[in-house]
């Protein structure tokens, strides 16, 4: 049988697949369109956004084409409406949310956690990843942690817990991306319960409150302890035994001068 004949035999299934994809996207677009139309028709507060209808329709159409879960974007729409967010700003928020969810989808795909239109990604996982991205975690960091956990038992939940721990830690510490990734991977390999990951921010605060430097807490207490197979108890012991590298700030005290006289030079320098 010639090549041309073989290609003709292979064409119908391929054509059916393409047609099915087109039908599914069209159905999704119609669903988004119905959702928006129903919102305008049934919610009295939606009238305030009548001027943004074309922009919202465009966002929803794009979301349907990219298989973004309907509920996640719709929730942002109703949240903005409930707070009275101006139409122009709400449109911007939804566009930003759509981009964030698209990035989250790519991250899930790279980690082998993606899905298809017929077998979609978990909305909860997608939403959680979106939270970390909006908090400023780099896409690559989240992607690598999810990929690291993909082959482990309960790895997805552990990886998400590691992302949450890094997010909390970066909220109180000027953590470099390389250190963030190293700590996240060490958490996944540590054998610690994921519920304990969140305590890292408390460990950092405790170390700093005792006068330890940022570098001492991050490198000596957290990273070195995890690398050696230790856990939270070992970190606390290290904090108690590590020499203080930065003096604690002196608390203001009463003036030492006599009544009617200014404080002496030493008290002014405190």
Contact between 161 and 194 (Cβ < 8 Å): yes
* Domain count within the chain: 2
Q: Which is more confident, 44 or 208?
A: 208
Is 270 inside a domain boundary? no
Q: Which is more confident, 76 or 248?
A: 76
Is 170 inside a domain boundary? yes
Q: Could you tell me if 63 and 117 lie in one domain?
A: yes
Q: Could you tell me if 123 and 184 lie in one domain?
A: no
pLDDT digits (tens, 9 = 90+) for 141-185: 999 999 888 777 677 889 999 999 999 999 999 999 999 999 999
Q: Which is more confident, 117 or 208?
A: 208
* Residue numbers of the domain that contains 190: 157-247
- What percentage of the chain has pLDDT greater than the value 70? 73
Does pTM surpass 0.75?
Answer: no
Is 11 inside a domain boundary? no
Contact between 89 and 77 (Cβ < 8 Å): no
Separation of alpha carbons 169 and 180, rounded Å: 9
Q: What is the pLDDT of residue 223?
A: 94
Is 18 inside a domain boundary? no
Q: What is the pLDDT of residue 207?
A: 92
Q: Could you tell me if 125 and 194 lie in one domain?
A: no
pLDDT digits (tens, 9 = 90+) for 16-33: 333 333 333 444 444 666
CA distances from 39 to 64, 130, 131 (A): 17, 24, 26
34-43, 60-69, 81-90, 210-219: the lowest-pLDDT one:
34-43
How much is the average pLDDT of 89-109? 91
Is 236 inside a domain boundary? yes
Q: What is the pLDDT of residue 10?
A: 43
Q: What is the pLDDT of residue 108?
A: 86
Is 103 inside a domain boundary? yes
């Amino acid at each position: 049988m010639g090549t041309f004949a073989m290609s003709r035999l292979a064409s119908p299934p391929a054509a059916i697949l393409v047609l099915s994809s087109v039908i599914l996207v069209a159905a999704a677009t119609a669903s988004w369109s119905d959702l928006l139309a129903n919102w305008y028709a049934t919610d009295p507060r939606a009238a305030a956004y009548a001027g943004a209808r074309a922009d919202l329709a465009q966002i929803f159409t794009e979301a349907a084409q990219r298989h973004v879960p309907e509920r996640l974007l719709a929730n942002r729409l109703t949240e903005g409406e409930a707070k009275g967010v101006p139409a122009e700003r709400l449109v911007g928020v939804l566009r930003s949310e759509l981009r964030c969810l698209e990035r989250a989808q790519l991250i899930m795909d790279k980690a082998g956690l993606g899905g298809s239109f017929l077998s979609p990604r978990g909305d909860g996982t997608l939403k959680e990843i979106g939270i970390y991205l909006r908090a400023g975690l780099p896409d690559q960091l989240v992607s690598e942690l999810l990929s690291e956990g993909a082959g482990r038992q309960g790895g997805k939940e552990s990886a998400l817990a590691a992302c949450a721990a890094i997010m909390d830690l970066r909220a109180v510490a000027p953590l470099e991306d390389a250190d963030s990734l190293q700590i996240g991977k060490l958490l996944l390999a540590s054998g610690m319960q994921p519920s304990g990951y969140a305590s890292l921010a408390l460990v950092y605060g405790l170390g700093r409150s005792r006068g330890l430097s940022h570098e001492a807490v991050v490198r000596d207490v957290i990273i070195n302890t995890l690398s050696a197979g230790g856990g939270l108890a070992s970190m606390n012991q290290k904090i108690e035994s590590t020499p203080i590298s930065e003096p604690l700030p002196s608390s203001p005290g009463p003036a030492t001068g006599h009544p009617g006289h200014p404080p002496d030079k030493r008290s002014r320098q405190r």
